């Protein structure tokens, strides 16, 4: 769990990354940056900061910040009520992000899972995204991602997003943040 003060500090830090990526946010957007620690209590290694611009029943647009070597844990977006799971395109805006998806295992991957979480990472086909590069992930595909040494800002364009329905490989994960005073 994170305190309100920790969340505010992390929002400020994320805002600095948006500025580095030349992404201009309104005051309201800055206040709405979500901090996702996944309930693991290790935000510097497992987590991300995100801002959702729009999320309708047809499409979604988000910005995500990953601090240096921060990891979004392995997960997939399943079908929900007969509708296909979320399909998403990641476009790197700043830094470098390493995306791991199902497929042929990369022999010498650039990233390692956070300490004590290694058992919850099973896909190792590496996609490296630098500024201006993008990759689309089909629905229900296991994936995880981690930023490089300078952190990363990634735009996500997708079909409807229902984060509460994401299925994480790590059973300890709580997608919706718990906040303490």
CA–CA gap between residue 4 and residue 8 (Å, rounded): 6
Which tens digit of pLDDT belongs to each residue from 39-98?
Answer: 998 999 999 999 999 999 999 999 999 999 999 999 999 998 888 899 999 999 999 999
CATH dotted code for 2-180: 2.60.120.10
CB atoms within 10 A of CB 145: 25
Give this prediction's pTM: 0.94
Radius of gyration of the chain (CA): 15
Q: Are 152 and 52 in contact (CB under 8 A)?
A: no
Token readout for 65 is: 């910040």
DSSP character at residue 80? B
Which tens digit of pLDDT belongs to each residue from 8-18?
Answer: 999 999 999 99
What are the start-end ranges of the E strands in the chain?
A: 2-3, 34-36, 48-55, 60-66, 71-76, 88-101, 125-129, 134-137, 143-158, 167-168, 179-180
Q: Are 92 and 137 in contact (CB under 8 A)?
A: no
Q: How are beta strands 71-76 and 143-158 bridged, if at all? A: antiparallel
Q: Distance between alpha carbon 112 and the CA centroid of its chain, in Å?
A: 16
């Amino acid at each position: 769990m994170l305190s309100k003060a920790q969340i505010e500090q992390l929002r400020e830090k994320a805002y600095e990354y948006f500025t580095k990526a030349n992404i201009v946010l309104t005051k309201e957007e800055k206040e709405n940056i979500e901090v996702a620690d996944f309930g693991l209590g290790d935000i510097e290694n497992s987590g991300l900061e995100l801002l959702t611009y729009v999320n309708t029943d047809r499409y979604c647009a988000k910005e995500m910040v990953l601090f240096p070597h921060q990891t979004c844990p392995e997960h997939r977006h399943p079908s929900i009520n007969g509708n296909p799971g979320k399909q998403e395109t990641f476009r790197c805006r700043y830094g470098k992000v390493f995306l791991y998806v199902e497929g042929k295992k990369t022999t010498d991957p650039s990233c390692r899972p956070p300490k004590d979480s290694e058992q919850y990472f099973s896909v190792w086909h590496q996609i490296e995204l630098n500024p201006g590069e993008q990759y689309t992930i089909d629905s229900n595909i296991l994936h995880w991602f981690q930023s490089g040494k300078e952190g990363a800002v990634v735009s996500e364009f997708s079909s409807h997003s229902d984060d509460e329905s994401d299925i994480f490989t790590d059973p300890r994960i709580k997608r919706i943040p718990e906040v303490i005073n």
